[in-house]
Structure 1
Amino acid sequence: MGAEKTESTEDGGNTAPPPGRAVSRRALLLGGTAAVGVGVYALAHDELGRLRWRIPGVVKKRKEGAVDARGVQWTAASSANWRRADRPDDYEIDRVVIHVVQGSYRTALKVFKDPGHGAAAHYVVRKDGHIAQMIRELDVAFHAGSRDMNERSVGIEHEGFVDKKESFTDAMYEASARLTAGICERYDIPVDRKHIIGHVEVEGTDHTDPGPHWDWERYLRLVRRERDRPARTKAPA
């Protein structure tokens, strides 16, 4: 599967600050030693911005069931499989990661709703082109097996198997390309193979998806076509 249990520990319990940030965050939130110099102050200010929603009483307003792309269906992943954030204000989004389930659409939804699975992607695309959104784009999904990549990317899971070319239908390519074009438009992500990658290309991963039958040339061509469509429909507010 494109995302699996081994990713659940990548955040050290999913909420611990990453290495090198703990001192500045503790100083800010617990009134520690004053920052020395303009550079340290700027870093501290940035870290406070990243953590402001974690301070008691500060919660970013959310609309239950809201989606980020027009025409997708909301079905929530378990909260154990993602981390609340405020992207792109706290983490820049500059990648789209393509996954293949190694199973059915129904299987993907089932495991992403399972808190014991420890992983989930933002979206799941069915072979007929139907799309479920399971995690908001502003939040960090545990999908790539890398904390850094999770924080900077949107993960799209696709129904099917890496060794079966017939898994990747015309409807799936078209729907997924529209979705990716919208993501690239929202976050000003270049449509190229540096910024739209497969799970196999994430540093340190042992995954092989989307596999040798995923047609990257076709996919990027479709994404560019959707991006450049004159009357492109914007995402919901």
Structure 2
Amino acid sequence: MGEPEGQKPGGRGVSRRALLIGGGAAAFGTAVFARDDLGRLWWRMPGVVKKRKEGEVDAKGAQWTAASAYNWRRADRPDDYTIDRVIIHVVQGGYATALRVFKDPAHRAATHYVVRKDGHVAQMIRELDVAFHAGDRGYNERSVGIEHEGFVDDKSSFTAAMYASSARLTAGICERYDIPVDRKHIIGHVEVPGTDHTDPGPHWDWDRYLRLVRAARERLEAPGRKA
């Protein structure tokens, strides 16, 4: 699930950032960079640090458990990279295993969220930052990754509590970034171009999951109601 930095990036931001930090802004002048692009990237200049609130989560009810800083990249999404995908993963192990490896700087990969069988959610990376989870730089920059406890070849891994909790989580992400609830925008890790991963596997019930996501999003959009 790592993000090979030598790979040609997809999406937006990398070429602009390389030029800006490398002094390209001075060389090419403001004619090269649109005003809004410069505004989005001001904090990437050396010595500028974007303010963060320690332990803040994006999803209501999630527990903050920080991933290693080696497993994600600081960003300012959706201002610098458009978020238009949710990517579903399966750990091939337990919840505790996922948290342990995502805290390991040598792992060089992590998702934004991990969902336990009982529905408990840990947030390990802020949604505004780029998690190294898809194995493709462009997909990392455009997506939020959700890991699920369990095994791709074990249907019993995917409990009703897990489906319901994950669906509420995905509905909230889709609501925040105006992402359509469909199979083009909510995908499995297996569907990332060039991946050798198979998760979430044949036992993940996509029809059931999308029904739950749609229902949760409708509750979010209903006047005076929350999912």
> Are 2:16 and 1:54 equivalent residues in the alignment?
no
1:151 aligns with 2:151: no
**Mapping 1:12-51, distance limit 5 Å:** 12=6, 18=14, 22-23=18-19, 26-29=22-25, 31-34=26-29, 40-42=32-34, 45=35, 47-51=37-41
Asked whether 1:11 is paired with 2:5, we answer: yes
- 5+ residue gaps, structure 2, are 8-12
Asked if structure 1 preserves the Cα contact closer than 8 Å seen for 2:21 and 2:45, the reply is no
Query: Residues 152 and 200 of structure 2 are in contact (CA less than 8 Å); yes or no, is this contact kept in structure 1?
Result: yes
Residue 174 of structure 1 deviates from its aligned partner by 0.3
2:21, 2:57 → 1: CA distance? 31
Q: In the alignment, does 2:79 pair up with 1:82? A: no
Per-residue deviation, 1:23: 4.1
Per-residue deviation, residues 69-114 of structure 1 (Å, max 9, x unmatched): 1111000000000000000010010000000000000000000000
- Asked if 2 retains the 8 angstrom alpha-carbon contact of 1:127 and 1:169, the reply is yes
Find the partner of 2:198 among 198, 208, 212: 208
- 1:233 paired with 2:226, answer yes
What amino acid is aligned across from residue 34 of structure 1 in structure 2? G
Q: Quick one: which amino acid aligns to residue 5 of structure 2?
A: D
Runs of 4+ in 1 over 4 A off after TM superposition: none
Alignment of 1:60-209 (within 5 A): 60-209=50-199
* Residues 160-207 of structure 1: CA deviation (Å, up to 9, x unaligned): 000000000000000000000000000000000000000000001110
Q: Distance in 1 between matches of 2:128 and 2:33?
A: 26
**Alpha-carbon separation, structure 2, partners of 1:116 and 1:108:** 14
Provide the TM-score with structure 1 as the length reference.
0.86
Structure 1, unaligned stretches of length 5 or more? none
The residue identity in structure 2 corresponding to 1:225 is A
Deviation at 1:59, TM superposition (A): 2.1
Please, which moves more after superposition, 126-135 or 46-55? Answer: 46-55
Aligned to 2:10: none
Shift of 1:20: 7.7
Pairs aligned (count): 219
Shift of 1:24: 5.8
How does the TM-score come out when normalised to structure 2? 0.89
Partner of 2:27, secondary structure, is coil
One-letter amino acid matched to 1:207 = H
Whether the aligned pair in 1 keeps the contact of 2:21 and 2:44 (CA below 8 Å) is no
Q: In structure 1, how many angstroms separate the alpha carbons of the residues matched to 2:28 and 2:181?
A: 44
How far off its partner does 1:33 sit?
3.7
8 Å Cα contact 1:28-1:48 kept in structure 2: no
Q: How much does 1:57 deviate?
A: 3.9
Deviation at 1:120, TM superposition (A): 0.1
CA RMSD of aligned residues (A): 2.0
Q: Indicate how the Cα distance of structure 1 residues 61 and 25 shifts in structure 2: closer, same or farther if over 3 A, else same.
A: closer
Instruction: Work out the percentage of aligned pairs sharing the same amino acid.
Output: 73
Alpha carbons 2:71, 2:102 under 8 Å: kept: yes
Maintained 8 Å contact 1:93/1:187:
yes
